[in-house]
Amino acid sequence: MDDRQFRTAMGKFATGVTVIATDLDGDVHGMTANAFMSVSLSPKLVVVSIGEKARILEKIKQSKSFSVNILAADQQELSMIFAGQIKEPREVVFDRLDGKPVLAGAVAQIACEVSAEHVEGDHTLFIGRVTDIHLEEAEPLIFYSGSYRALAEEKTVTV
């Protein structure tokens, strides 16, 4: 099994797309992530997995808080901005939810405090205790096999 085969297999797991955001001393940093999962209902916990090379890693370690923004189908551009797929710097305005930076128009905004972190291989898993949630009625953005998609087949978009 090589790296390519592993990545291809993992890409067969269709997911939504999130932007993880954190505020460190008034400086907001975002990163696109699909390694997101609900962990527990009581208490309400989620997990995100952040690569060791990601600049946001140290920022979340220090701020001890983050938001998860589940992107809507019309927010592919935001995903590309926060994945570094659009190279030119763009100004993105963040709203606030329980003091955490959040993206307007996201299907769900989830504010979290870090309750635990675990280094596993080349990623760090942050367990987030959910402190607040805001929901919007919208279709989600989908990521599958390396491409952005929409729920309806005829809306498939390839980057």
Q: Does 28 bind ligand FAD (CB under 6 A)?
A: yes
To ligand FAD, the closest distance from the beta carbon of 42 in angstroms equals 25
Task: Specify the residue, 42 or 53, whose C-beta has the smaller distance to ligand FAD.
Answer: 53
Near ligand FAD by CB under 6 A, which window of 69-77, 80-88, 111-119, 150-158? Answer: 80-88
Q: Quick one: how far is CA 97 from the chain centroid?
A: 16
**From candidates 35, 39, 125, 150, binder to ligand FAD by CB under 6 A:** 35
- Residue 26 CA: distances (Å) to CA of 76, 94, 101, 108: 26, 12, 10, 23
Distance between CA atoms of 21 and 109, rounded to whole angstroms?
10
Residues within window 56-75 making contact with ligand FAD, judged by CB under 6 A: 56
Residue 116 CB partners (closer than 8 Å, separation 6+): 126, 127
CB atoms closer than 10 angstroms to residue 98? 17
Residues that bind ligand FAD (CB under 6 A): 17, 28-35, 49-51, 54-56, 81-84, 89-90, 92, 143
